Amino acid sequence: MTDAPVLLPPTPAAAPQKRYWGFWATVGLGAAVLLVFFVVQLLVILVAGIALSMPELDQSLNTQDIVDRVMDALNARLGLLQSIATIASGILGTGLILLFIRARRRADVQEYLGVNSLSLKSILVSVVTVIGLIAVFDGLAWWLGYSSGGGIVADVYNTSIWPPLFWIAVVVFAPLFEEAFFRGFLFAGFRQSPLGAAGAVALTALAWALMHALQYSLFSIGWIFVLGVAIGTVRHKTGSIWSAFIMHALVNFIATLSLAMNWNI
């Protein structure tokens, strides 16, 4: 009788855990990020408005007078308060995105958000794409006889008090948060779902456009959607979120420059 080795069946390897949140988890966590973003913005503006109006308040005023004084203080400094709120909410929102990514086991922040270097060619493609789209948009607006007129955005700039802070908020902090969220966190989760890259580009562009629905006209929202599709496509092709940030920041820079030129006339 020989002592033959006993052959055991191989132990099945454990299925590797996915490094990205699934579609519905991405939607739910994304909604939480947006909720925090908007709540922080609202709180910063309201608290600052109340604080600024405090010297003008006294016990003889009724509730409506107090509300009117607070609203006057808000409207007179809306641009300044919006700048501060954008920076504060952008920092907290981005921090929450990083926290949610860290909560996903085996997830790497750099890979998840696409924080990869860009070639000079990719940078040029990003810049040329934005300039071309702006030219098309402006030409279409002229042909249709449409004029943006600045609207609420112009009012915000005119009450910014200290324009450099407005520039920093709009050209740096807003694109950083929005791209980390839309073309970073949401794009990564949606792309891994049955939607694929094309669906992720379209869905993030739609969500981005709807986020600005209360600020702009329907024509401008359509422009934001088209721009979002372009930004998402370039971000996917280059594999880097920096291309999205460059495109977004450049659009905001040109728009803010136009506001500043009109304001100074």
Per-residue pLDDT reduced to its tens digit, 202-260: 999 999 999 988 878 888 899 999 999 999 999 999 999 999 999 999 999 999 998 88
In this prediction the pTM is 0.87
User: How far is residue 148's CA from residue 146's CA, in Å, rounded to a whole number?
Assistant: 7
For residue 124, the model assigns a pLDDT of 96
> Can you tell me which residue has the tokens 């990514």?
101
For residue 119, the model assigns a pLDDT of 94
How long is the chain?
A: 265
Element (H or E) spanning 186, and its range? none
User: How far is residue 242's CA from residue 258's CA, in Å, rounded to a whole number?
Assistant: 24
Q: Which residues in the chain show pLDDT less than 70?
A: 1-18, 53, 55-62, 65-66, 147-152, 263-265
Q: Which amino acid is at 118?
A: L
Q: 235 with 243: CB under 8 angstroms?
A: yes
Residue 223: alpha-carbon gap to chain centroid: 16
For residue 67, the model assigns a pLDDT of 72
